[in-house]
Structure 1
Amino acid sequence: MTNPTEIIPGVLFYSFLSKMRKEKVGFLEHSTLVLQVSGLFTLATATETISMTGGNMLLIRKNQLGEITKIPIDGGDYQTIVILLKEDLLRKIALEEQIETVQKYTGAPNILIPENDFLHGFFQSVIPYVKHPEAKITDALGMLKVKEVVKILLHTMPQLKEFLFDFSETHKMDLEKFMLSNYHFNMPVEKFAQLTGRSLAGFKRDFQKAFGMAPRQWLQEKRLAEARHLIENKHKKPSAIYLDLGFESLSHFSHSFKKKFGVAPTELPVNTLL
């Protein structure tokens, strides 16, 4: 998430804002537990969209691509507490608690957690740290808070053991299908390789076989082709689509578009027949 308050370094974060914000999150590297304090939180991936409001909790699976939209509602503010469940911390917990998993996790990538007194009490215990971010919380205390919430999650939903403690490598997935669904996320080629279960060299080799060109070239052309379609046929404004198509700035998008098509995106004729 963009510019949250870091309460426990690398572990616990608090996000507050008073107006809508859409964030091209891209690569969600770590499993993450989100408590929605107030406002509307929406996570959109290539396969699903999940929304939640105040009092709801969501467990997000590691190694995903997604976009988060934060919206204050009913005249209030938007507030979220986020805990990153990093693999190194989960490995330590698995060793200390002698937790073993016998199979690879194949369930839902994102799970809404039913509200219960134990989790509610845990997040109430976090509030003092949120209210006093100037206090320097030690790494040891951060580890204790992660251990506590993991144990509560397992007590609440024992089936989450495979979700949390699957340390197997990402399986080698259908590269072509994956890229056609996720090309609009702005991230390094190395991350695309990781998400498809390949080394960088293997990813480039398989990509060339699937698409007949290098990944960066294909990504640029795919995004620009989609931009032209949206402007010509869907009457979208360049300023409304460039971020959603993986471009970092409007000027970069406009320059690339003109270089590809010989005309600025704002000068493109609109198809009025559709």
Structure 2
Amino acid sequence: MYSDNGSSCLHRNHSHVLVYMYSGELEIKEREKVTKLHKGDCAFIRKDFSVQLTKQAYKGEQFKAIFLMFTDKFLRVFYNRLDKGSLPQDARRSKVSLYRLPSNRPDIVSLFESMTPYFNSGIQPTDELLELKMTEGLYILLNTDKNLYASLFDFADPWKIDIMSFMEQNYTNDLSLEEMANYTGRSLATFKRDFSKVSDLPPQKWVIRRRLEAAHALILSGTQKVTDICYNVGFKNLSHFSKAYKGLYGCSPAHSI
């Protein structure tokens, strides 16, 4: 990816990403945490969180980076080739959505610098070569931290993401049922079945209830305006928020203050 002008976007990863910076600056904001990547920096971004990406020039050099996207299809093929007996059984999926790799590591530099000729010459690399580069990138991650096994192969039952932990962290986000299922490493049917084991409410009603509970606590604290609270907890419509709030608490948000 190249960019001569600063640009910013809200990016929701549907695939795990390994990003390497050739030049410029990439600012990654996840909730209130801001990480800035520059020339030679490399980072892994998990697929189950929304991040704000700002791409811009830095010290007179244009933004230039490469993003390796690890799709579920690619990861499943790779996983099926692994010796399951050699997998780290104590691997645990980290709650951190952005993992910054050590700078100037020889294996990282070797991989990404070997790809620059294809950008500069305009030659299209073959599918076989791209698969080799993706595999090399995957091994870089796995050799960095064994816990990344659990993040990368989270479609496998031993590392299935805890549903309620995910929901608590993401109830303010506008996610479809399909996205909830995908981000927790499940099919839609499995997600619904597993969710029913931990809640009496279906997922979408649980989200509404959780948003209202969060809104109620904020209203009672008196730290924010009702309108701000409405949007901060995930509602898109003030009228819908007020109606749902009154249905649960018996009064309008304004009368709870």
Identify whether the pair has TM-score above 0.5, normalized to the shorter chain: yes
Q: Which runs of 5+ in 2 are unaligned?
A: 247-252
The secondary structure found in structure 2 opposite 1:70 is strand
Counterpart among 54, 61, 67 of residue 82 in structure 1: 67
Matches within 5 A, 1:160-239: 162=149, 168-169=156-157, 171=159, 175-194=163-182, 195=184, 199-206=190-197, 208-209=199-200, 213-223=201-211, 226=214, 229=218, 233-235=223-225, 238=228
Paired position in structure 2 for 1:41? 27
Q: Tell me how many residue pairs correspond in the alignment.
A: 238
Paired position in structure 1 for 2:10? 23
Matches within 5 A, 1:86-165: 86-93=71-78, 101-104=86-89, 105-106=91-92, 108=94, 110-115=98-103, 116-130=105-119, 137-152=125-140, 157=144, 159=146, 162=149
The offset of 1:137, in angstroms, is 4.5
Q: Normalised by the size of structure 2, how large is the TM-score?
A: 0.65
Q: Normalised by the size of structure 1, how large is the TM-score?
A: 0.62
What's the RMSD between the two structures over aligned residues? Answer: 4.5
Compared with structure 1, are the counterparts of its residues 118 and 178 closer, same or farther at alpha carbon in structure 2 (3 Å cutoff)? closer
Q: Which runs of 5+ in 1 are unaligned?
A: 1-13, 263-267
Provide the identity percentage: 20
The offset of 1:132, in angstroms, is 6.7
What letter is aligned with 1:147?
T
What letter is aligned with 1:35?
Y
Q: Report the Cα distance in structure 2 between the residues aligned to 1:20 and 1:236, rounded to whole angstroms.
A: 32
What letter is aligned with 1:85?
F
